[in-house]
Amino acid sequence: MGHYLLRRLPSALVVLAIASFGIFALVRMVPGDPVSSLAGPDATPEARAAIRADLGLDQPLVTQYVHWLGRLAHGDFGTSYRIGGQVKDLVADGAVNTIVLTVTALLLAAIVALVASVLAVVLDNRWVNAALSFGNTLAIALPTFVTGLVLILLFAVVFPVLPAGGTPPDGFLARPDIAAQYLLLPAVCLALGAGAALTRFLTEALRTELRQPYVTTARALGIPRRRIVLTQALRNALPSAVTVLGIQFGTLLGGAVLVEAIFTWPGLGGLIEEAISGRDYPLVQVLLLLSVVVFVAIQLLTDVIHAWLDPRVRIGGAS
């Protein structure tokens, strides 16, 4: 397993290197620059030049890039142009909230998909399938801001049982029960789309597995169909489902920006919006690079889980 991971690592590092340059270049290609947004419309050319020199933006691009990488390597993420303060601290505060939210949503999506698709395949009932397919389509079709508002209206206004937004006042660990109440609505809102997509994928994967010859072998041995689904088909469908889940994580990270805005969840979403509109280069770069790092790490993780679940990857064949 360690050997397998080691073989994947170089390509992951290459992806990160390319991404870092892409991000650096992209941020500077966006029209507008931090100098005008910092100096204001009435600044003299001298004042602008001073700010430019101060931020190091008068240097050649390559020099800027190398300096940025050098500082990153030493753990120096730079200071924000507009908000002020260390980028490291700004990101750290929001990152915890966003990660808690997306990971909860990911787990929710995975559990819902697992239960729904296994039910659909085991029961194999027309009405159950129709209901699931209806729910699925709805969950995929409705945009996040609609489901978010409906959830708030239902569970915080009409039946006021859950908080409408914000994070638990004492953090996530002090009172897990209260934290769960705060997490529930935004996590459900974020998980809906991913969960529906995953349910659809897993249901189809299970049905495909049930058409495989090994299932016929099992049925010819007198093993009940339900047992075959649970102990054999699911085990074969899981590896590819895990890969899909890993890709869904990227969608979840993107979706979190919106969900955080609806539920006033102080995560990285707000920070990204603020940083991009202010052309706050150091902050934008770190935020984007962070999401790439997280995504690449998740891909590596799904590859490892995939290999662990599939003996054909894990153990070389004799034939």
What is the contact surface with another protein in residues (CB under 8 A)?
212-214, 216-225, 227, 231-232, 235-236, 309-312, 315, 317-319
Nearer to another protein, 137 or 212 (CB): 212
Minimum distance, C-beta of residue 312 to another protein, in the bound complex (Å): 5
Minimum distance, C-beta of residue 133 to another protein, in the bound complex (Å): 20
**How big is the chain, counted in residues?**
319
Nearer to another protein, 29 or 315 (CB): 315
Minimum distance, C-beta of residue 315 to another protein, in the bound complex (Å): 6
Burial class (CB within 10 angstroms; exposed 0-12, middle 13-18, buried 19+) of 89: exposed
Burial class (CB within 10 angstroms; exposed 0-12, middle 13-18, buried 19+) of 124: middle
Nearer to another protein, 31 or 317 (CB): 317
Nearer to another protein, 44 or 319 (CB): 319
Minimum distance, C-beta of residue 232 to another protein, in the bound complex (Å): 5
Report the distance separating Cα 211 and Cα 110, nearest Å. Answer: 24
Nearer to another protein, 143 or 213 (CB): 213
Angle between helices 268-277 and 87-123 (to 10 degrees): 130
Minimum distance, C-beta of residue 286 to another protein, in the bound complex (Å): 36
Minimum distance, C-beta of residue 235 to another protein, in the bound complex (Å): 5
Nearer to another protein, 73 or 221 (CB): 221
Nearer to another protein, 301 or 313 (CB): 313
What is the SS3 assignment for 39-107? HCCCCCHHHHHHHHHHHCCCCCHHHHHHHHHHHHHCCCCCECCCCCCEHHHHHHHHHHHHHHHHHHHHH
Minimum distance, C-beta of residue 318 to another protein, in the bound complex (Å): 5
| Residues 162 and 185: beta-carbon distance below 8 Å | yes
Q: H-helix or E-strand containing 159?
A: none
Continuous H helices in 213-280: 213-220, 225-228, 234-262, 268-277
Sign of CA dihedral 10, 15, 21, 23: negative
Distant-in-sequence, close-in-space partners of 85: CB < 8 Å, separation ≥ 6: 79
Minimum distance, C-beta of residue 169 to another protein, in the bound complex (Å): 47
Report the distance separating Cα 246 and Cα 252, nearest Å. Answer: 10
Nearer to another protein, 158 or 318 (CB): 318
CA atoms within 13 A on the CB side of 208: 12
